[in-house]
Amino acid sequence: MSLVTMKEILDTAKEKNYAVGAFDTMDTVTTEAILNAAEEKHTPVILMVVPPSVSGKNDVFMNYLTERCRKSSVPVALHLDHAPTFEDCMRGISCGCTSVMFDGSSLPFEENAAITKRVIEAAHACGITVEAEIGHVAGHEGNMLDGNVADPSCYTTVEEAVKFYEKTNVDCLAVAIGTVHGVYKGTPNIDYKRLDEIKAQLPVPIVLHGGSGLTDDDYKKLVEHGINKINFFTAMSLAGAEAVKKFVKETAKFQGTDIITVLEKAEKEVVRHHIEVFGTLPVSC
């Protein structure tokens, strides 16, 4: 199949009522874990990179990613996650991303909407999908291990979501409804009523950030209530780290490549499981 836009993948997901996993990668091992899992399941997948990967200092990695996605046997969107500026979004496009997220969720509403609009004008001229966020999902992506708590005062309101969509015509919208990035402090409490109200008013796919740390029942319920993209990183990365720790503890003799094999296998298993739980349909369906 190939490198496609995220709009292509998410429009089908919305039409057929399932979610697609969007997994962050910063290295080739995790990339292969994600893509091999999707290829085995014959499902579309969203491969996400972070702003440092498109800074101009990681061109070799980005060239590998675009080439690998192009050669994939399933549709893959290469998406820039959490770009904090217009310029970062443009760098993502020039590095081969087929989709970018402008994250203005910490900015005042009007500024977030105005920059999102500029990003959309430029990105759409190149055939690239744009995601934005309204409300704010707590937890700093670079500090995922300390534990985070959702702050209801930052949840997305229906009024804001509608106004934001009307102003920007964004392709898909990330909302804050009780998840956090990274490890949870306490038990997550998702505001499904809020999600239903937002879903009823917006014609575009809704995105969930902070996908790690929920139960399989939570994911299924989120999909039933209309989530079409689930961003996922921490649990995959921690599962890989745990598997390596266990392997090192239990194995007397090994070489470096054995560790890579263990890491990739553990991450791939997490991705495979979540593709199933998110209900992502195979490409032929």
Residues of span 146-185 touching ligand 13P by CB under 6 A: 181-182
Rounded to 10 degrees, the C-alpha dihedral 205/208/212/216 comes to -60
CB of residue 24 vs ligand 13P: minimum separation in angstroms? 6
CB of residue 250 vs ligand 13P: minimum separation in angstroms? 27
Sign of the dihedral defined by the CA atoms of residues 223, 226, 229, 231, in that order = negative
The response to whether 181 counts as a known ligand-binding position is yes
CA–CA separation, 183 vs 11, rounded Å? 30
Q: Which one is catalytic: 24, 81, 171, 191?
A: 81
CB of residue 182 vs ligand 13P: minimum separation in angstroms? 5
Among 31, 72, 212, 228, binds ligand 13P (CB under 6 A): 212
Q: Which two tokens stand for residue 147?
A: 């534990």
CB of residue 105 vs ligand 13P: minimum separation in angstroms? 11
CB of residue 253 vs ligand 13P: minimum separation in angstroms? 34
Among 4, 54, 90, 144, binds ligand 13P (CB under 6 A): 144
Q: Which two tokens stand for residue 115?
A: 């920059």
Backbone φ and ψ for 282, nearest 5 degrees, come out as -60, 155
Is position 234 an interface residue for ligand 13P (rule: CB under 6 A)?
A: yes
Q: Which residues, other chains included, contact 19 with Cβ-Cβ below 8 Å and sequence gap of 6+? A: 13, 208, 219, 222, 223, 227, 228, 229, 230, 278, 279, 280
The response to whether 142 counts as a known ligand-binding position is no
CB of residue 132 vs ligand 13P: minimum separation in angstroms? 13
Query: How many other CB atoms are found less than 10 A from the CB of residue 163?
Result: 15
Nearer to ligand 13P, 71 or 140 (CB): 140
Nearer to ligand 13P, 135 or 210 (CB): 210
Site string for ligand 13P, 27-66 (x = CB under 6 A): ----------------------------------------
Is position 103 an interface residue for ligand 13P (rule: CB under 6 A)?
A: no
Of 161, 166, 223, 163, whose CA–CA distance to 197 is shortest? 161
Site string for ligand 13P, 67-96 (x = CB under 6 A): --------------xx--------------
Beta bridge partners of 21: 230
CA–CA separation, 108 vs 210, rounded Å? 22
Rounded to 10 degrees, the C-alpha dihedral 66/11/197/139 comes to -10
Tell me the DSSP string of 238-284. HHHHHHHHHHHHH-SS--HHHHHHHHHHHHHHHHHHHHHHTTPPPTT
Contact 155/135 with Cβ under 8 angstroms?
yes
Q: If binding means CB under 6 A, how many residues of this protein chain bind ligand 13P?
A: 15
Nearer to ligand 13P, 154 or 248 (CB): 154
- 59 given a catalytic annotation: no
Nearer to ligand 13P, 128 or 144 (CB): 144
Residues in the chain: 285
Nearer to ligand 13P, 62 or 176 (CB): 176
The response to whether 31 counts as a known ligand-binding position is no
Alpha helix locations (H) across 144-215? 158-168, 192-201
Residues found near ligand 13P in the complex (CB under 6 A): 24, 81-82, 141, 144, 181-182, 209-212, 231-234
Residues with catalytic roles: 81
